[in-house]
Amino acid sequence: MRISIENLTKIFPSRHKAGENVTAVNDMCIEIPSGKLVGLLGPSGCGKSTTLFMLSGLEKPTSGHIIFEDEDVTTLAPEKRGIGLVFQNYALYPHMTVEQNIMFPLVNMRLPKEEARQRALEAAELVQIEELLTRKPSELSGGQQQRVAIARALVKMPNVLLLDEPLSNLDARLRLQTREEIKRIQRATGITTVFVTHDQEEAMSICDQMVVMKLGVVQQMGEPQEIYDNPNNLFVANFLGTPPINIFKGKVENGGIYIGDEKVGETNVGDQEVFIGIRPEGFIYDPMGALTVNVQNVEVMGRDKTVVSTHPSSTKPTIRSIIDSDIKLPKDALQLKFNIKPNKLFLFNAETEERIYDGR
Amino acid sequence: MEKSNDLQVMNNSEFNLDANKEKKKEKVIVTIRNVFVYIFLTLVAIFSFFPFYWMIMTSLKSEADFRQAVPGFFPRAEFGGFQWSNYANVLAGRNSVFGQILFNTVFVGIFSTVMSLIITILTAYALARMNFSGKNILFALMLGTMMIPGEMFTVTNYITASRLGWANTYVALIVPFLVSIYYIYLLRNAFMQIPETLYKAAKVDGITDMGYLVKVMVPLTAPTLISITLLKFIGTWNSYIWPRLINKQRAWRLLSNWVSGGFTQAGSSEPSNTLKMAAACITSIPLFLLFIFFRKYIMHGVSKSGIKG
Amino acid sequence: MEDKQVRDESLAVEENLDNQEMDNQELDDQKLDDQLDSLIEEAVLETESQKPRQKMRLESFKRGAYHEQGWLFVLPAVLLMCVFTFYPIINTFVSAFKVGYKPLDSAYELKWGFENFVRVLRGDTGTGGANFARCFWNTLAFTFISVPVSTLLALLISVALNSIKVLQKAYQTIFFLPYLTNALAMGAVFATLFNVVGTGNTVETVGLINVLLGRTADNYINWINLGSDIWANRFVVIIYEIWSGLPFKILILFSALQNVNKQYYDAAKVDGASKSTILWKITVPLISPMLSYLLITGIMGGMKVYTAVVGLFGESMGQEYEVGTMVGYLYNYIEKGETGYAAAGSLILFGIIMIITLINLYVSKKRVHY
């Protein structure tokens, strides 16, 4: 099921000031391809959950349209949209057994009891909880509850599966496992899946497509690697990647990119003040390198090491540079020099913070 | 424990001797105190339980036994022993309205409990989960009336019910008490504890508002609903003044009215204490049974609402 | 404040009844709130940059649009309340000022004034039966003796109960037995305990209580029979009120005690406090909100005592309302069709209850420790 979101806007009245309104989602236009796993990513308060609830039909958009394949579902009730929704806190009915929970949507569809039971069993098998069917939600671990919630969403064979922060209530170990699980289930069923997360690592690891949002506005959409490699603006560049991108104030002069007085690269954009973003993995140690940093310490991680340093032009307190652990650094050096990989360096307009693309 | 004590003895024997003495002294004090505590509690237990015991025993005594100068703690054999016939006399014979009275009480009890439960659920649901204009004003009005003693309503309700021609009917016993603001308030609070996400989940699962109420809200608040049911039924069982006021005919009254009346042995005009106690037993036993089977729910409701049944 | 605490209290009382579910739900609620908050946060973030476009009601944001069908749900209750709750309140106020108002008699002359109140207070209603002053003093005597005594007793019982382990549950159950009773039936039982029975002028038995006090037919105390002293009557009612009032108070205080953080006791022990110091200086102040709640509800309930007295003394509350109570007084006039007096009397009762509530509120604000 292909989903088109056209000029979707949601305005809430402000809780703090009477008469004031706040825009949770602003003129959103995206197209979600059929059968893909798509992540809505952004910091807390970016409107991603609101978008998801509008897709589910629980929230009514202020304006704009939601189109499933060719049908406009903007005003359609949730139960008529053919969606499955997994809530952040799972919202399992505490008085029903796992089986009754999973069967609940089917019972409401007035399916014969036997068929409902059969389908509930299939859904339970898909998420591997068939041995828990007689238990109550309170007797399950967080991960198991999550699976029940997914099974309940899947049992009516939805065209679209929506997940709201599906991993946020799980502990770290379970989170890794469950995110593989979600990926597996999505692959197995081929259902168009939209999920909301504020964790960029989570999104990048399982998404086919990613939508980065900020303050209700879509910043960029695309494959995770594509966005990581080609961020549209400073926000997106900053939001993706651990450790985060290093940002310097700098300038372009006569085709040279300058941080302070040091020329770290070349470009063909015109002379101007810029923000220069350099990914941590974009540094190459070179005693004769272009950029000089003041070393604070070196963290050895085994597989690689991180040089933590400072630079007067950096907009952040420290700069992190990841280099291969084989590379020998001079002991107790106060300063180190690096060359910068051109494909790991991005220029942003100093005022709009939009990406300045190389003309080449 | 022992070992460490020995070690201490070697190091500082004098101090330890003192500590041992203290310990012994404390032990004696604790024991004495415990004895007093148990004596006290036992006395209170006797105080609590004795009226029930006396009621049962008196109900089984013969009239002669009861009228002995020194009362016995059991029905005594020389005065006829256990008089089970007291119960037969109360239930049948001259006091034969009992069958009708019991039917009245059970009928009014069940009917008003069911109706009241439906009204309470609907109202509590709307107050907890729906938005309609004037809701807050309505709720505030309802809470406000909780301050007012019920006797203030009785004055007018007596006139209203009389004018409506409800005197000596079941309607008079049921309708004026169908709405209990206490119960609505209690259930509304229970409903409010159910998370809103469940409602959203149910919406996605394709259920109507009514279906959600019946399939999710009601089962989840079952303990509160059971408490309300019990308290309402007990309320009818114990209601006295209203039936006395509005239903002047004995045949339309309830159990409390019956038990408050006089009972006489066949062939005597003297009020009989033993028969009265038999009637009191008959009135109390169902309450006892309810208490035994539903202790948890009753205590739950009582402590939540702080009201009597 | 008291109200909230009682509810907190109840969570402990209900034991495992539905704790698990409720816990989950509260947790969920919490999360939901967080979610909502973040939603609102995100909304707020926008306020600065976004011009208001459309005015919407706050409620509709939280719960979706207004559902006027809510009125359909509350309709039965509202209709019934209009007839049997709201109208009576208004009507009581109105008819209290209608002099000589007898709605069930067809003809009466409409006259307004305070005469009903004056006559009720002066005991000059000219209809015989209950006397307001006597009923008023009886009610005060019952309430202001039985409520403090039973509250104090309940406190001691709860403390004792809290200090034992063996048989605790058994005692607790026995103490709760008098809660679920029929006041008419149990009043009759108490009457039997105090009753002096005989034929003609011969006393046959002086009743169990007299016997236990070592009294005989020659020197028995006349508790409730013809010609008995009003204070003997009141004593019997007070004993009954204590007996029937204890269970609820023990239930509340015992669970309050169980909820007191044990650290306070440990700290007091370290500070060298004795057992009685701990009780009066630590425990009682900590559960003082519960004590004040019990006093308020106890006194308000006491003001309405009625059925127990009928159980003890019969429908005429003695020969001619000697042991009458304020509520008994009202019913007497309702039965006689003297609505004006009944309405005025019920307003006076309402006023007294309001005054007591306000005094209680004032006192508990000063005395209750938190």
Q: What is the pLDDT of residues A157-202, one digit of tens each?
A: 899 999 998 888 888 888 888 888 889 989 988 999 999 999 888 8
Determine the structural domain holding residue B22 and report its residue range.
2-86
Residue of chain B with shortest Cα separation from A86: B201
**Whole-number pLDDT of residue C67:** 67
- Per CB-CB distance under 8 Å, the chain B contacts of C88 are 152-153, 155-157, 160
d(CA A162, CA A194): 5
Residue pairs between chains A and B whose CB atoms are closer than 8 Å: 55
Could you tell me where the beta strands, DSSP code E, fall in C233-308? none
Give B51→chain C minimum CA distance, Å.
7
Is A139 in CB contact (< 8 Å) with chain C? no
pLDDT range class, residue C103, cuts 50, 70, 90:
low
Q: Enumerate the β-bridge partners of residue C202.
A: C199
Residues A162 and A295 in one domain: no
- Which residues of C sit within 8 Å Cβ distance of A? 20-21, 24-25, 27-28, 31-32, 35, 38-47, 49-50, 52-58, 60-61
State whether B152 and C88 contact (CB < 8 Å): yes
**Residues C124-183: tens digit of each pLDDT:** 766 666 788 889 999 999 999 999 999 999 999 999 999 888 899 899 989 988 888 899
Tell me how far apart the alpha carbons of residues B65 and B62 are, in angstroms, rounded to a whole number. Answer: 5
Do both A186 and A200 map to the same domain? Answer: yes
Q: How far apart are CA B220 and CA C25, in angstroms?
A: 10
Looking at A191, A215, A238, which one is the last position of a domain? A238
Judge if B78 and B156 occupy the same domain: no
Please compute Rg for chain C using Cα positions: 27
B66 and C CB contact within 8 Å? yes
Report, as an integer, the average pLDDT of C112-131: 77
User: What are the DSSP calls for A159-196, one per residue?
Assistant: SEEEEESTTTTS-HHHHHHHHHHHHHHHHHH--EEEEE
Cα→Cα distances C329→A67, B82, B158, C139, Å? 73, 41, 15, 11
From CA A224, how far away is CA C116, in angstroms rounded? 85
Full-model pTM? 0.76
Please tell me which of the candidates B132, B141, B295 has its beta carbon nearest to residue C68.
B132
Same domain, B179 and B283: yes
Q: How many CB atoms lie within 10 A of CB C222?
A: 15
Q: Are residues A253 and A224 in the same domain?
A: no
Q: Do C55 and A19 touch (CB under 8 A)?
A: yes
B residues 31..50 contacting C (CB < 8 A): 33-34, 37-38, 40-41, 44-45, 47-49
| CATH 1.10.3720.10 residue spans of chain C | 132-336
Q: How many CB pairs under 8 A join A and C?
A: 93
Domain that holds residue A138: 3-238
Q: How confident is the model at residue C66 (pLDDT cuts 50, 70, 90)?
A: low
What is the band of B130 on the pLDDT scale with cuts at 50, 70, 90? Answer: confident
Alpha-carbon distance C49 to nearest alpha carbon in chain B (angstroms): 30
To the nearest whole percent, how much of chain A has pLDDT over 70?
A: 98
Same domain, A302 and A319: yes
Structure tokens at B159: 């006139």
pLDDT at B309 over 60: no
Q: Is the dihedral of CA B6, B12, B17, B22 positive or negative?
A: negative
Other C-beta atoms closer than 10 Å to the C-beta of B252 total 20
| Minimum distance, in Å, between the CA of residue C57 and any CA atom of chain A | 7
Q: Do B198 and A93 touch (CB under 8 A)?
A: yes
Which of A6-10, B19-23, B187-191, C366-370 is predicted least confidently? C366-370
Q: Which of B148, B62, B83, B104 is nearest to B236 (CA)?
A: B104
Same domain (yes/no): A168, A247: no
Q: Do B130 and C73 touch (CB under 8 A)?
A: yes
Q: For C249-268, write each residue's pLDDT tens digit.
A: 998 899 888 888 777 777 77
Q: Verify that A285 and A222 share a domain, yes or no.
A: no
CA nearest A252: which of A356, A162, A334, A343? Answer: A356
Shortest distance, CA B214 to any CA of chain A (angstroms):
13
Residues 75-114 of chain A whose Cβ lies under 8 A from any Cβ of chain C? 88-89, 91, 94-95
Question: pLDDT confidence of A282, banded at 50, 70, 90?
Answer: very high
User: Which domain-ending residue is among A178, A207, A238?
Assistant: A238
Q: In angstroms, how far is CA B41 from the centroid of its own chain?
A: 23
Orientation of helix C132-163 relative to helix C115-122, angle to 10°: 70
Q: Name every chain C residue with its beta carbon within 8 A of the beta carbon of B283.
A: 182, 184-185
Chain B closest-CA separation from residue A58 CA (Å): 7
Residues B62 and B118 in one domain: no
Instruction: Average the pLDDT over B49-78 and give the result.
Output: 89
- A204/A281 same-domain check: no
Mean pLDDT of chain C: 77
Rg of chain A in Å (alpha carbons)? 24
Any chain C CB within 8 A of the CB of B296?
Answer: yes
Same-domain status, B67 and B128: no
What residues of chain A have any CB closer than 8 angstroms to a CB in chain B?
56-58, 77-80, 83-85, 87-89, 91, 93-95, 104-105, 108-109, 152, 156
Mean pLDDT is lowest, of A203-207, A265-269, B10-14, C40-44, for C40-44
Using a CB-CB cut-off of 8 Å, the residues of chain C touching A88 are 31, 35
* Residue after which a domain boundary falls, among A194, A219, A238: A238
Same domain, A202 and A295: no
pLDDT at C100 over 90: no
Residues 6 or more apart from B42 whose CB is under 8 A from it? none
- Contact, C120 vs C96, CB < 8 A? no
Identify the pLDDT of residue A269. 86
Q: Are C223 and B85 contacting, i.e. CB atoms less than 8 angstroms apart?
A: no
- Burial degree of A32 (CB within 10 A; 0-12, 13-18, 19+): buried
Selection from C181, C155, C215 nearest residue B44 by Cα: C155
Model confidence at B88: pLDDT above 90: no
List chains touching B (3+ CB pairs under 8 A). A, C
Q: What is the DSSP letter of C319?
A: T
> Is there a single domain that holds both residue B185 and residue B265?
yes
Distance CA C213, CA C243 (A): 19
Residue C324 has pLDDT above 70, yes or no: yes
Tell me the C-alpha distance between A26 and A219, whole Å: 11
Co-location of B76 and B114 in the same domain: no
CA atoms within 13 A on the CB side of C102: 11
pLDDT > 80? residue C3: no
Structural element, H or E, at residue A251 = strand A246-253
Asked whether B75 and B99 are in contact (CB, 8 A), the reply is no
Both B100 and B82 in one domain: the answer is no
| Shared-domain flag, residues B70 and B150 | no
* C chain contacts of residue A11, beta-carbon cutoff 8 Å: 53-54, 56
- How many whole angstroms separate alpha carbon A341 and alpha carbon B267? 118
- Domain of B159, CATH number, reads 1.10.3720.10
**Cα–Cα distance, B111 to B117 (Å, whole number):** 10
- Taking contacts as CB-CB distances below 8 angstroms, the residues of chain A near C45 are 22, 45, 215
Q: What confidence score (pLDDT) does residue C13 get?
A: 36
What does pLDDT average to over chain A? 89
| Same domain flag for B210 and B102 | yes
Query: Both B69 and B111 in a single domain?
Result: no
Q: Are residues A51 and A112 in the same domain?
A: yes
- Dist CA A230 CA A236 (whole Å): 9
For residues A203 and A351, membership in a common domain is answered with: no
**How many angstroms separate the CA of residue B178 from the nearest CA in chain A?**
29
C13 vs B300: CB contact, 8 Å cut-off? Answer: yes
Q: Is A215 in contact with C61 (Cβ distance < 8 A)?
A: no
Q: Do both A108 and A12 map to the same domain?
A: yes
CB contact under 8 A, C44 and A16: yes
- The backbone torsions φ and ψ at residue A96, rounded to the nearest 5 degrees and listed phi first, read -110, 150
Same domain, A92 and A153: yes
Whether the Cβ atoms of residue A292 and residue A262 lie closer than 8 Å to each other: yes
Cβ–Cβ gap C175/B44 under 8 Å: yes
User: Which of C189, C219, C241, C246 should one mutate to test binding to chain B, selecting the residue with the greatest count of B CBs within 10 A?
Assistant: C189
Task: Report the percent of chain B where pLDDT is more than 70.
Answer: 89
Q: CA A345, CA A290: separation in Å to the nearest integer? A: 13
Helix (H) or strand (E) holding A252: strand A246-253
C partners (3+ CB pairs within 8 A) are A, B
Rounded Cα distance, A168 and A186, in Å: 19
Q: By CA distance, what is B219's nearest residue in A? A: A95
Chosen domain end from B27, B53, B86: B86
| Domain co-membership, B114 together with B40 | no
Highest mean pLDDT range out of B153-157, C99-103, C125-129?
Answer: B153-157
Residues B291, B185 within the same domain: yes
Domain tally, chain A: 2
Q: What is the pLDDT, as a whole number, of residue C366?
A: 66
pLDDT tens-digit profile of C170-212? 999 899 888 888 999 999 999 999 988 887 778 888 888 888 8
Q: Is 0.90 exceeded by the ipTM?
A: no
> How many domains does chain B divide into?
2
The class level of CATH for C132-336 reads mainly alpha
Q: B59: closest CA among B80, B81, B84, B40?
A: B84
Q: Write down the pLDDT at residue C43.
A: 40
